[in-house]
Amino acid sequence: MANRLDGKVAAVTGGDQGIGRAIVERLAQEGADVALCYRSNKAGADEVVSVLQKMGRKAAAMQCDVGKVADGQKFIADALAALGRVDILVNNAGLERRADFWDVTETDYDTVLDVNLKAPFFLVQQLLPLLRKASTAEDPARVINVGSIAGIVPMARNSYAYAASKAGLHHLTQILARHLAPDINVNAIAPGAFETRMIEFALQHRAALEAQVPRGTVGQGDDIAGVAIFLASRAGSYVTGTVIPVDGGLSLRNP
């Protein structure tokens, strides 16, 4: 039985750990070859590449600070050189700078917006001709943005720039979906509380955090990866312009 993504090639930013790694490994399990980039975790990226190669997939990892447009452009160029094409772009890389509103610096604000919002904009712009070339009427090319529940409801205390960047990414997702159809499907996934380094501070009070989640637990990377595979596969070919909360019901509660 064929895998859902046989013959596809994906490029994933921030694919060396956490949610990004889970998405990369599920893409490979479903048949895709994958190029991923990492900011500083070379050991993690090399480990992911080794895992994918043992699955029989082609894989490559490149160091890249996607907050710098030139770095993002080089990542795409290197991905194409290594794997020959890109059918699926996953904008997963993200960062947060926590501070009270009056303590947010211009540098931190710019850094967060550069990685979380500017990078997806310019990566899609660069890949647009190739994504259109890879698209068919039955199976459009895909862009999947990893947003956040913080971009939907105002619950990210001390994460003002982060919340603004993710809300912007959600809206960018919808604008691009409207204007790039029918060639390219553009969707976003909005994770809630997930067991990642980004929320280590909150996981110090895990029981209190999980008490706020109707499902009763924080999420795991594979919970996001499953939704990403649906959006990347033919099962999701008629879905575009959506922002899908994957949060165990967290956004249903009063912030």
pLDDT digits (tens, 9 = 90+) for 118-136: 999 999 999 999 999 999 9
The number of beta carbons lying within 10 Å of the beta carbon of residue 80 is 16
| Model pLDDT, residue 210 | 60
Residue 104's CB is within 10 A of a number of other CB atoms, namely: 17
Q: Which domains does the chain have, with CATH numbers?
A: 9-252 (3.40.50.720)
CA distances from 59 to 11, 24, 209 (A): 10, 10, 36
- Alpha carbons 181 and 133: distance in angstroms, whole number: 13
pLDDT of residue 193: 76
pLDDT value at residue 214: 62
3-class DSSP state for residue 171?
A: helix
Percentage of the chain beyond pLDDT 90 is: 76
Positive/negative CA dihedral, 77, 123, 188, 252: positive
> What is the maximal distance between C-alpha atoms in the chain?
57
Q: Confirm if 228 and 84 have CB atoms less than 8 A apart.
A: no
Rounded to an integer, what distance in angstroms lies between the CA atom of residue 42 and that of residue 51? 14
Which residues in the chain land under pLDDT 70? Answer: 1, 156, 194, 196-211, 213-216, 253-255
Distance CA 61, CA 44 (A): 10
Q: Are 225 and 25 in contact (CB under 8 A)?
A: yes
Active site residues: 162
Nearest to 243 by CA among 148, 154, 140, 163: 148
* DSSP structural state of residue 240: -
DSSP letter at 3?
-
Distance CA 28, CA 52 (A): 6
State residue 212's pLDDT score: 72
**191 cis-preceded (ω within 30 degrees of 0):** no
